[in-house]
Structures are given as C-alpha cells and as structure tokens.
Structure 1
Amino acid sequence: MKTIILTILISILVACSAFGTIKLPAILSDNMVLQQQSNVNLWGWAEPNSKITVKPSWSKKNNSTVADANGKWELAVKTPVAGGPYDITISDGKPVKLSNVLIGEVWICSGQSNMYQPMKGYHNGWFTDETTDAINLAKPSTPIRIANVELTYNREIQQDCKVKWVVNCPETVANAPSVAYFFAQYINKALDVPVGIIHTSWGGSSISAWMSKELLQNQFPEVDLKILETNGDMDYPQNKPTVVYNAMLSPLRNFTAKGFLWYQGEANIRTPEQYEKMQIAMMNSWRRDFSNLEMPFYYVQLAPFKNDKIPEFSYGYFYEAQANILAKTKYSGMVVTVDVGNEKIVHPPKKKIVGERLAYWALAQTYGFKIQYRSPSFKTMSITGNKVQLEFNEADLGLHSSESSATGFELAGEDHQFYPAEAIFSGKLIELNSAKVDRPVAVRYCFRNGQIGHIYNNYGLPLIPFRTDSWEKLR
C-alpha cells in the first residue's frame, strides 16, 4: 500500500513540476458549495516545502501554510454565512483560481440503486415520478449544486476521485440523484440558502463495499478480504468489501460537510442481524473519517418489494434491524417508505416524498425547526378475548388509513401462524380481530415481503412496520 501511495504522490509532483502550478483534488473546483460558518478544509499538492497562500474573496485575510516534504498541504479557512458567488485564489507563486463558489449547506449522499436513481429514471422504463417540471424548469440561478462521483473501485485507499461540481440546469438535474435532489430542493426552500449535494453511490452495492478494511478486520472478521490480495479486474466490484469505500468515499473525507444521507440495504436483505451491526459501525467510522462524531446520518428504511427468491418475512426482519439502528444511535434519523413501494418494482418511482421526508429529519434535528418529522411507531398492546388493542407513539391525534380498509395487520395465536386481521380505528387506538384467531397473542404489521402500508398520522407520516412477538424468525 505504501508503494502505491508513494507512486501516486510522485505522479502528482511530476504533474505539478510539469505545469508549474498547484494540484487540487477534483472535489475542490469551480461551482462547488462550501459549508457555511465553518472552518472548511482546503488541500492539495505542490512542490515540497513550498509556501501556499489561500485568498477567498469573502475575506481580507490571507491564509497560508507550507507543503510538507511530499508536497501535500492542507489548511482550514473560515467561511461566512450563506451567500456567493465567490472566488478562491490558491497560489504557490503561480495562482489557481476557483470561481462561482457558493457558501451554504453540504450533504454527502450514498447507498445503492435507490439513491443512485437519477431524476430522468433508469433504462428499461424505470421512471421517477414528479421530475418533469424540476428538470425542465431548472435554472442556474437556483443555488443548488451537484457533484456526482464517477463509479470506480480500488483495492487501496485513493487520494482523489473523478467528480465535478455542476450548476442547476436541465441537463445536470436530469442526471442528479432523485432522492438527494429533492432533499436539496426542500432544504433550499426552507432555509433560503445554497445547497450542495455530493453524490457517491453504486447500484447493487453491499454495505461492506462502503466500509474500510481496518473496520472490517477489527469488527467483522467473518468478512473475507482475500479479494484485496488479488490483481486485475473484479466482477461486480460493488459487492466486494472495502473497494468502493477506498475509491469513492475515502477521497472525500477532507471535505467539510453538514451530514450524510444513506439509502441502501437491498443487497444485504438476507442478513439483517449483521447489517444492523455493520451500519452502526459504518456510521461511526464515517464520522471519524470526517472529523465530526456528531455528524448527522439520516437513512431510508427499505420500500416494500415482493421478492420471491427470499423467505417471505425477509423484509420485515430487515425493517426491524433498520428500526433498531435508530434506537441505538445518536444524531441519526430514519425515513419510513412502507407506503411508497411497489411489490413488483425494486426501484419505486416515488422519490420526491422520500427526499422530502429526509429533509424533515434534517430540518427538525439539524436545523432546529419545530415540525413533525417522526413516523408513528408501536407503543403498547392489550388483549381482551379475541380482540387486540394497539397504542402508538407520534399519534396524539390518532391514526387513519388512506384506503377504504386498513390492510397489513396480522394476528397469530400460540401456533405462531399469522392471519390477516380487521382493523378498527378508535381515537388514538387501533382494535384488531381475526376470524381465524380465537386467542391472539401477537401482532405483525407489514412484515411480509411486498406488503404496502397505508396507515398514517395526521402529518402524513406512515406507521413503521413492526411485530410484537420475539419468536425465532419464521422463514
């Protein structure tokens, strides 16, 4: 690994000498957004031991540092309140100028295909709802900027990646990740500040692909890392441990951002217990990478999909693992999407509501807005005869169904066999019964693969799938 890094540094220094100027990482470029009212990191490469000066147009102060013996330099620059555009001049005697820089809020967005899904949709007719106006009416004057990291992988940690900041226009918005873009759009309207989204995701990627080698070695010895000792191309690298992290996440770790958005899990649907531990470990690891142990991490619970190749309760157990992550972590939030899925489409087209629900969490927990943002969740159960009464959190005004009848509830007796239940709304409570269960002992809601939920609180937030039993997993 040391040999590879040294080779990279030598190549960078040769480039610096050849062109007689500073080399910057790709993420530091024209059109970027920097986090407001922060000490943001700027870094790059130059001649060894050369003096580097940084002059932002928002300040009269000259910032300076000295490149180390390998030519690497880094310094922190204080940013003002949101605004712009500004310029930044970086010089070792021969200046490099970054133009059209905005100051605002920056979020890093990652995951697999449901995060990657662009506003224009996928091939094979997989479309994204409610994007036509957003694409066609996109204006460069709207202060939303997008940086899409190109797909790549590497067995070793990389210092840079291929990425370019672009302004808001029809062509760039069409290729923007839809969940992240709708999040940015909502945050921009709510805060009236520029928003930058750094998008680094890969369809079909497993969570271990986004985790460092050291983290996997130390906490998940069951993960086979032998692929890192091989040479040549990889088949499906997005499913291999750490190689995507090395090339698409680690190069961004110096960039100062407000928080993370995460939408991933389908690739790990068969291993919910391991996934729960992995996401918690990854969240903490990323926060250490970005030098902020309180960095917000908001993620999306999977949407329903009827996958006949996996056991019928796989999604339910995975929902449970994702809900457990929320209960066990700080500075985190979970968006529920049980109502926006499609049992036949793994990429549900309703991405706008997902992005906006992520924005609710950010506005409430990160920006201090006094709004409703949590989905209702199971609280208590009482049983009288053949009837079950349920009470819920985040449902002070009660719950309701958007359909003519409430579906998704199931009851089971001591035989552990679940049957559909009729639901009756009674104020803040829901009463259940089933003609096939005389003595109910357990309830499940939207726990089977592909079950779509239509139970909401008065703020339009869907009920989190749940079970009241702790029985050994039914397959």
Structure 2
Amino acid sequence: MNKLYMFSLFWSLCVTSVSAQVNLLPIFSDNMVLQQQTQAPIWGESKPNKEIEIITSWDQKRYTIQADVRGKWKTKVTTPAAGGPYDITISDGKKVKLSNVMIGEVWVCSGQSNMEMQVEGWGKVMNYQQEKEEANNYPNIRFLLVEKETSPIPDDRLKATERGWQVCSSKSVADFSAAGYFFGRDLHKYQNVPIGLIDTSWGGTYIETWTSKEALATMPGMKKKLDVLNELPITKEDRERKFHSDVEDWKKNVEKIDKGFVNSKAVWAAADLEDNTWKTMEVPGLMQDQGLKGFNGIVWFRKTIDIPAKWVGKELTLNVGVIDDNDFTYFNGVQVGHTEGWMAPRSYKIPKELVKKGKAVIAVRVMDTGGTGGINGSPESISLHRSQLDVIPLAGDWKYQISLNIKDIPQMPVNTANEPNVPSFLFNAMLNPLIPYAIKGAIWYQGEANTGQAYQYRELMPLMIKDWRDRWGYDFPFYMVQLASFTAQQTVPVDATWAELREAQTRTLHLANTGMAVTIDIGDAFDIHPKNKQEVGRRLALVVRAQAYGEKIPYSGPMYDTYQIEGNKIRIYFKHTDGGLKTQNNETLKGFTISGVDHKFHWADAVIDGNSIIVSSPEVAFPIAVRYAWADNPICNLYNGVNLPASPFRTDDWQGITYGNK
C-alpha cells in the first residue's frame, strides 16, 4: 500500500463529502458553530494550485482563493451577529455543502479527567438520566468531541467523534464533557445565542503535555525533558518499537545490579538455592503490611512444593494471583511468565518437560514501583493446576528477600506510542489542529496531576495560557476551575500539595482576562471526580457572563485581599463580599488557622466583622500569618451573600512542601 493511497484514505475519513475534491477537517462539518461578528478562518485541502470558491448563505458573499503547490488553502469569512441555521458551500469544481451552520459563541473545553468526565459515560453525574432527556431542549448547543491522539510534532490533522459537530441531544450529550455542557447550557440560557463547545481533554494528564515545546523551552527546568523529544521517532509504530528496545536494555541494566542475578542468570530462582536465611511472608498480602513498611523496589519470593508422580510430564497452569506492579515468574529456575501492569491477574503455563517428580521451586521476582505492592488476590487465585480438580494450593508462607531498592533502579522507559504525559504531545495532536479556528475563549479544569509540583505550576499555568493565545493571535478569555476538595478531611493544621496547587491557580489570575470558579465546597473525600458538575458549569458561567459578556452580576465568592495585625489578632479583608460575609446556617466559622513567629499553625477563632474577619487563638500571643481552607480536603464554610464559597488562601509566603519539585 503506497503512501499516496494511505494519505487519500485518511482524508476520506475526515471529509464531509467523499465525492468532493475539497478536503475538510471534522471541525468544518454540518451542525458547526462559527464565532459571531468576526473574521472566521476556514481552511482545507484540494488539488495543487486549484481555485476554491466559498459562498456563505447569511450574506451570499463569495470568497475566492487559490490552493498552494501542496494543495493547502485558507481564508477568512465575515460572520454576522448570532443566528442561523445557514449553509456554507465550498467548491473547487465539486461542491461540499455544510448545512445547519449556526453563528454564535465558540468555547474550547480542555483539561484532565474532571473536564473529560461525561454526563453519562464513565462519569454519570448527578441526575444524569434527567439531564440527558433535557438535553433535547437545546438543539442550538453544538458539540465537537476531539478524539484522543498523541504526537511528538505539531499535527494539522484532526479526528473527532461522529466525524464532526453534533447537535445537542440525549444521545450526543451522554459522552460529552459534563462541566463543558453545563457551562455552555447556562451561557445559552442567559446570552440567548447558539453555543459551540469543543471538548479536547484527557484524564490524568499533566499541564506540560498541553503546552507547546517552544513555550516549555523557555523554562530552564524543562530542558532535560525536552531533549528526550529530539530522540523520538515521528510515527507511532516506530515509537512502539523504540520503547520495546529500550525496555529490553533497561531490564538488562537492572539485572546487572539486582542481587538475584549473577552474570545474567537468575540465581535466586534456582531450585538448589539455599534460602534458609530468607524471611517469611504471608501470600497473598501486601509487602508493606508485613515488615516492609515504606519499601518500594524489587523483592524475590520463593515457594517450595512437591510434584506428585502422576503430574510428571504434564503441562501445568500456574496462577500467581494479582501482582503490584510487575513480575518475572520462574519454575525451577526457568522463566515461565512476565507481566507488566498493576494488579493484572497472572496465569502462566508450565511446559511439560519442566515437570518432574519431587521438589520444585516457584520463584516470583516482584517489582513494586510505588505505594503498596506484592502478591495479592484471593487465596484461591494462587495455585498450581494439572486440571480444574487436581490442584496444589500455594497461598500461605513464602520465603522472600529484598534485592534492590527503587531509588537504585534506573527510571523505566515510557511508551511514547500511547502515553499522553509527554511534554507537548497533546498540544501537538489535540490542540494544534484546532488553531486558528475562531473561538470566544477557553475553559480549563486540570491540576490534579500536577499537585506534587504545585510551585512549578505557578509558572506552567500562565505560560500555557500565553502560549495558546500567542498561537491563536489574540488574548481570548481563559477561565479555570480551582481544584475541589479530595481525600480525608484535615483534623490538624497541615501543609498540603492540593492547597499549594489551588494557590498557584489563584496566582494565575494576575494574568489579564482570566477568571476562576471556586469548587472547594463541592468535592468528594472518596471520589476525585465529584458528581456535581452542574454547579461547576454554573460557577464557570457566572464568571464568564460577568467578565466576558459584561453582565452586572456577582460572580465570585470572597477572595482574600489584604490583612492587618491588631495586637493578638489579625483582621482579614476580602474582595467579592456581595451581600456580606456569612456561613451556611449561621454556623461558627471553620477552616482558619493562625501562626506566630515559630511558623506553627493552630486552629483559630474567627469572627465576621462587616466585610472582614478577625482571627485569633489563645495559643498565639503575637500572630503573623493566617491560612484558610489550607488542606487537600479542608473543613471550611465561608461564603458571601450570594452563596459562593471563599477561595482558600494564606497571608504568608513561606516555602511550601512542593518548592523545588520538577
């Protein structure tokens, strides 16, 4: 199959009309939304040097352009005030007609899983069934869902579900971003214009992958990560081959320092190894609960059994439960299985020629890369079988020995063929193809993946915004969701990575034309994906309605402004105190801590005094700093009169626990 045919086949999947010569990305399709009252770019491909004619039905204007020597063409069309439906006809001798085109407001919705979380799909927000049915009432909201792709270089191709824009309905909303949809629904209600929402998001992703290589290169700390990109093959297939080659090299390097190997031979798997000095561990069970608290690395396990005479020369099945993370499994010194992957069930065949009467040793080399690890599962899942009824149970005491600590193991290669968390990969594949489609602005829900590097996020967040704006060519509005609460609630004043990430998000508001929706009160201690995405969308829409569209409405909860030390108390002043400061149900204020010169924080008494709050503690005679809602999942209850929560804050600038993390 030649390259020309492959190229043509790809474009046939992306075009609106397979019979036409004009090729369009899915962003130009039936049901699309163009940004109102602007010069909206339209681009595509045809034959080299071919003349292209575009006719817009709202004004019957004709645009004529010529494709370049590669067949690429681009122009801009003048869009009217919001309305529709309209048609756009594009022809190079054969016509492509785009129907049911609306003119309105276009927003990009991006981030990680809390933006990706669908109305139904894997997310299932509150009242999702009712929300699905009511979606049929909003046909002038349109969705473009970008498919997940990665690329080491900027790509101009685009894949989208249903090959283009979809009209809002119970079917199309089911797998679309819930936060994006509820945001767009509120804008549609209050602005009374068609809304186009472009969902380009991927769960679990770092902000670095959504930022261009050129922008990241301006940060000295990124040089080492970016240098790796220069060595990557362009095609996914070549990156897959490189990964497997790198893994084999990595395994050999680890074997050189693993005490269980001598001259590349797994001596700790041998049947005649003397293991009387090895310690004993109950299997199944977590290593960290059985004498290896806090340990990560490589541990060898051994189990000695007796093979009955009737099993000799028979193929056997060895089940080793589920293993966290990776294993190499041996039978009498011969490797019979290897699996990469956290908690995947292990089942391996023992060749009949290895099955001999008498003593046999099963050895499992377990690599635990973080958190808890070991041989887990049910006792029944750890066994040796000749048949379903002929079984030797293996659960119980196993010998074990540590061979290598994780800190001494070289970093394992990353499979860049499908791994999204590589700097610039998602910018290249899922954002760059959208540029320069005319948009009103962008909403962003991300940060959970970067909590361990919260100080660095202070630079990464504004850098990414500027990067996007520079490439679009204008400073469009950009609005973010501050991280919701998560994990167990605090019981003592603590330092917290999530608190530092929220602070980094708040600091981004110094960048012009940005805003933030605070969600500290609608998180879930046990679910990183809280279900109340309706309120997330509503709060985002409040900010946008006020800042981007000029509505005279309250749009933010109390935001820390300044403080003043008054003897043994500190007075905190706020912005956005619309309707006054309050707590829900007139409860006592919670979530405030106070510190003296020893930098030790204590729970504080806090009292509302007009539009300020007075904070004190009998344990702090001379206070110098106050913090509010400073935890991963804080207990806090400060609101303004329009029931919007106060943003977490601190008055100090003392070095945080993520300082210096890259």
Tell me the TM-score normalised to structure 1 length: 0.91
Corresponding residue to 2:479 among 298, 316, 323: 298
1:417 aligns to 2:600 (yes or no)? yes
Tell me, in whole angstroms, the C-alpha distance in 2 between the residues paired with 1:241 and 1:147.
24
Q: Contact (CA 8 Å) 2:34, 2:105: kept in 1 or not?
A: yes
2:479 maps to amino acid? Y
Residue number in structure 2 paired with 1:156: 153
Tell me the distance in 2 between the aligned counterparts of 1:220 and 1:48: 42
Match of residue 312 from structure 2: none
Aligned length: 464
Q: Deviations over 1:219-264 (max 9, x none)?
A: 3452512145234243662211111111100000021111011111
Counterpart of 1:378 in structure 2 is 560
- Cα 1:440–1:474 change in 2 (3 A) is farther
Q: Measured at CA, do residues 257 and 474 of structure 1 come closer, stay the same or move farther in structure 2, by a change above 3 Å? A: closer
Question: Do structure 1's residue 229 and structure 2's residue 226 form an aligned pair?
Answer: no
1:360 alignment partner in structure 2: 542
Amino acid at match of 2:207: I
Q: Which residue of 2 aligns with 1:136?
A: 133
Return closer, same or farther for 1:325/1:9 CA change in 2, 3 Å cut-off.
Answer: farther
Task: Map Cα deviations across residues 410-431 of structure 1 (whole Å, 9 max, x no partner).
Answer: 1112221112112222222222
Instruction: For 1:58-457, list aligned pairs within 5 A.
Output: 58-120=58-120, 122=122, 127-139=124-136, 142-163=139-160, 164-223=164-223, 224-225=225-226, 226-227=228-229, 229-230=231-232, 231-233=238-240, 234=415, 237-292=419-474, 294-306=475-487, 312-327=495-510, 329-395=511-577, 397-402=579-584, 404-457=587-640
**Whole-Å separation in 2 of the counterparts to 1:90 and 1:368:** 36
User: SS at 2:180's partner residue?
Assistant: helix
Give the residue type in structure 2 aligned to 1:314: T
User: Is 1:464 the equivalent of 2:622?
Assistant: no
The residue type equivalent to 2:231 in the other structure is E
Distance 1:84 1:426 in 2: 52
CA distance in 2, matches of 1:147, 1:100: 14
Distance in 1 between the 2:9 and 2:132 partners? 43
How big is the shift at 1:377?
Answer: 1.5
After superposition, residues 39-50 of structure 1 pair within 5 angstroms as 39-50=39-50
Counterparts of 2:657 and 2:138 in 1: how far apart (Å)? 54
Distance 1:71-1:269 versus aligned 2 partners, 3 A rule: same
Which protein is bigger by CA-based radius of gyration? 2
Q: 1:418 to 1:134 in 2, by over 3 A?
A: same
Residue 285 of structure 1: SS of its match in structure 2? helix
Distance 1:453 1:48 in 2: 63
How far is 1:143 from its partner? 0.8
Letter in 1 for 2:85: P
Cα gap change, 1:149 to 1:37, in 2 (>3 Å): same
Moved more, 148-157 or 18-27: 18-27
Gaps of 5+ in 2: 233-237, 241-414
* CA distance in 2 between partners of 1:120 and 1:436 (Å): 50
**Distance between the aligned counterparts of 1:165 and 1:341, measured in 2?**
31
Which one-letter code corresponds to 1:117 in the other structure? Answer: M
- Output the CA distance in 2 between the equivalents of 1:406 and 1:348: 24
Single out whichever of 355-364 and 137-146 deviates more from structure 2.
Answer: 137-146
Letter of the 2:153 partner, please give it. Answer: E
Contact 1:237 1:244 in 2 (8 A): no
| 1:374-431 deviation line (CA, Å, top 9, x unaligned) | 3321223333443332221122642111152321111112221112112222222222
37-46 vs 451-460, which moves further: 451-460
CA RMSD of aligned residues (A): 2.6
Taking the aligned partners of 1:78 and 1:453, their CA distance within structure 2 comes to: 50
Q: For each residue in 1:71-128, what CA deviation from the matched residue of structure 2 results, as whole angstroms up to 9, or x when unmatched?
A: 0001111111111111111000110111111111100010000110111153xxx542
Per-residue deviation, 1:200: 0.1
Tell me by how many angstroms 1:338 deviates: 1.3
Give a deviation string over 1:277-335, Cα, whole Å, max 9, x none: 1111111111122121x211111111122379xx84212221221111102x1111111
Q: 1:456 to 1:99 in 2, by over 3 A?
A: same
The code of the aligned residue for 2:75 comes to L
Taking the aligned partners of 1:239 and 1:325, their CA distance within structure 2 comes to 22
State the percentage of identical aligned residues.
40
Residue 430 of structure 2 aligns to a residue whose secondary structure is helix
Moved more, 259-268 or 228-237: 228-237
CA distance change for structure 1 residues 9 and 249 in 2, over 3 Å: closer, same or farther? farther
Instruction: Tell me by how many angstroms 1:9 deviates.
Output: 9.2
* Equivalent pair of 1:341/1:452 in contact (CA under 8 Å): no
Superposed CA deviations along residues 14-37 of structure 1, whole A, max 9, x for unmatched, are x99x95511001111111111111
Q: Report the alpha carbon displacement of residue 437 of structure 1 after superposing the two structures with TM.
A: 2.7
- Return the offset for 1:217: 2.1
- The 3-state SS of whatever aligns with 1:218 is coil
1:443 Cα deviation (Å)?
0.7
The CA distance in 1 between the partners of 2:657 and 2:117, in whole Å, is: 32
Range moving further from structure 2, 386-395 or 442-451? 386-395
Give the match's secondary structure for 2:193. Answer: coil
**TM-score scaled to structure 2, two decimals?**
0.66
Asked if the contact 2:20/2:95 (under 8 Å) is kept, the reply is no
Q: Assess, with a 3 A threshold, how the Cα gap between structure 1 residues 218 and 417 changes in structure 2: closer, same or farther.
A: closer
Alpha-carbon separation, structure 1, partners of 2:230 and 2:148: 18
Q: Residues of 2 paired with 1:174 and 1:298: CA distance?
A: 24
